[in-house]
Amino acid sequence: MSENSQFRFGAATGVGSMPGGDAREAARTVTGTFEDFPFLPELPARGPGADMIGRTAGMLVELYARVEPSGWRLGDRPGRDTKRARSWLGQDLDALEEFTQEYQGPLKVQAVGPWTLAANLELRGGEAALSDPGACRDLAASLAEGLRLHLAEVQRRVPGAQLVLQLDEPSLTAVLRGQVKSASGYRTHRAVDRQIVEGALRDVAAVHAGGPVVVHSCAPDVPFALLRRAGAAAVSFDFSLLTERDDEVIGEAVEGGTRLFAGVVPSAEGPLSDPAGSVMGVRTLWRRLGLSPGLLAEAVTVTPACGLAGVSPGYARTALAHCVQAARSLADNPE
């Protein structure tokens, strides 16, 4: 992360998805809540093409996908599903641009990473792209080019932004462990070699050479060390899924300059603790690792545990505001 070590991340932000289908309302909420680290909202409730796989499939270059009853499948030409995905992304960018006039500072955009994409996009025969090493390489190359164009478009619309690219990889652990089910459901795809996984992630992350890349997963056993080697400047995760066996890799990550996007605010609807209580686990982890409390605000960005697409708009607003308050508590009282 050396080239990104001087980058100033915000103290709190969201993961990506929001409830509802109103792009302007989502952009207004996000930019109003996170004045120093907004993000481009995703609204999957609009339907296929607004979901995380369809949205990223719409960004691919010279590869196209359409919706089948079993999910998203690669095809020969752009059809209505690709056009719909691109149209919604355009609406979201219009809304973001409207609410970020004169904005200067970090701005996060999200896309699905190459391995979660390979695990969830089908080849023409119905099997996951993950089953074909050549298809995985083509997908990663197409994604990299699509992200390069997408980042350039966001930068054009919000010229004062310092872009942060988040790659969503919830299927990554399953890919590494050979736990991704085949189309029949009766077997699983072979585990992908860790060096191949790391190499593809590094190649995709390299499109954002001028800025930091965050890798997000709200699955258990996030491979922190692999992500750091692949060039992630930060790792975003569900804090409640950590166990003490993760201590060593997290300590090494922090000491190596990797930022933690700690998902401490529940992404399922329910009562919230006070802001100080939400980050108590982070303080406890810090003490256990013997890290300096003064490092906390420099090393941690507070987020929800995962996306907020499944909650009410009211809870989403409350949860995002709670992230800001919890981050303030962490900065004001690091001990």
Question: What does the block give as tokens for 305?
Answer: 């545990």
Residue 331 domain-assigned (yes or no): no
141 is a domain residue: yes
- Residue 20 has a pLDDT of 96
Q: What is the mean pLDDT of residues 95-117?
A: 97
pLDDT for position 306:
96
* Mean pLDDT value across residues 304-320: 97
321: in domain: no
Q: Cβ distance 85 to 18 under 8 Å?
A: no
Q: Where are the beta strands (DSSP E) in the chain?
A: 64-68, 71-75, 105-112, 121-122, 161-168, 213-217, 234-238, 259-265, 300-304
Over range 201-220, report the average pLDDT.
94
Whether residue 327 is contained in a domain is answered as no
Whether 322 maps to a domain, the answer reads no
- Distance, CA of 59 to CA of 57 (rounded, Å): 5
Domain that holds residue 77: 23-258+283-294
Cα 88 to Cα 75: distance, rounded to the nearest angstrom: 20
Residue 15 placed within a domain: no
Query: Can you give the pLDDT at residue 68?
Result: 94
Classify residue 2: in a domain, yes or no: no
Share the mean pLDDT of the chain.
94
CA angle, 309 then 311 then 315, to 5°: 120
In this prediction, residue 333 carries a pLDDT of 83
Q: Residue 55 — pLDDT band, cuts 50, 70, 90?
A: very high
Count of the separate structural domains present in the chain: 1
Q: Residue 178: its pLDDT value, please?
A: 94
* Reported pTM: 0.96
Domain contains 329 = no
